[in-house]
Amino acid sequence: AAGHDVGGVSLGSAGTRPRTAPGGAATGSMTPLERESQISYGGGSPVLRKKLFDQNVAEWGSRYQKNKKQLDTISRECQNLRSEAAKQQQELDGKIEHFDQMEARFNNEVMPKFGDAKSREEAARQERHHLQVDLSENRKLKVQLSRDRKILCADFERKHSELGRGAETRDRLEAQLGSFTLQRQQVTSERQRMERELDLVSHNLRRHTELADEAHHETERTCGGIKTSVHHMNPSIRLESSTLSHEAIAMEEKMAK
């Protein structure tokens, strides 16, 4: 703890060892006024009193210089602390201002964007749910379409094989049709040939019929003449004429056939 102060400067401390005056009193614990009184009114020689005074002044001066140095050091430290405090206060003000700007930006920009992002995220979640529902429906539809595709492929293969067999049958029928057409053409040509031959035979038959008719008329006229002449001949000649008449009739019938 500091001692007594004179003019704001500490003149002693508790750690200073008390000095004893020549009369046996402890001078270290006395004030300078007490020391002056002791010097002025106490016992002892003037030299001793002057020595004690100079010693007290020297001690006071050394303490003053020491305390002044400490005070200057403390003042510089206080000034540094005030500068540091001002600097930190300025930094704090800057940080507060930056924080206020950040808070204003947060309230004016970030929060609206956050609200928009949250609404978009909610919309995206709902859309994702709808897409998942659509995906499950599409998967079911895919399974159904796969079954239908298998059935249609089997039906297509069956119809394709039937079409192949139909094509083979058609080719075979076309070949038969070509053969039948050729046969029909041959039959037609044969029929035309036979018709021509029939026309020729009919023409010959008509000509032969005309010849037979002429021969028949000639034979009838001859027979009539023979019959007429037979009545005027004897019986033997009549028998011969009758035989000739029968032969002529037989010949006529043969020619008619």
Q: Which tens digit of pLDDT belongs to each residue from 68-95?
A: 999 999 998 999 989 988 988 888 888 8
The pLDDT assigned to 199 comes to 92
In a domain, 146, yes or no: no
In a domain, 251, yes or no: yes
Closest-CA residue to 17 (of 59, 70, 77): 59
Of 55, 90, 125, the one marking the end of a domain is 90
pLDDT in tens, 118-166: 999 999 999 999 999 999 999 999 999 999 999 999 999 999 999 988 8
Distance of alpha carbon 235 from alpha carbon 246, whole angstroms: 16
In a domain, 199, yes or no: no
Of 90, 123, 139, the one marking the end of a domain is 90
Give how many domains the chain has, as a whole number: 2
Domain that holds residue 216: 210-256
In a domain, 106, yes or no: no
Of 68, 90, 112, the one marking the end of a domain is 90
In a domain, 101, yes or no: no
In a domain, 200, yes or no: no
In a domain, 107, yes or no: no
In a domain, 227, yes or no: yes
What is the four-CA torsion angle of 25, 30, 33, 36, rounded to 10 degrees?
Answer: 30
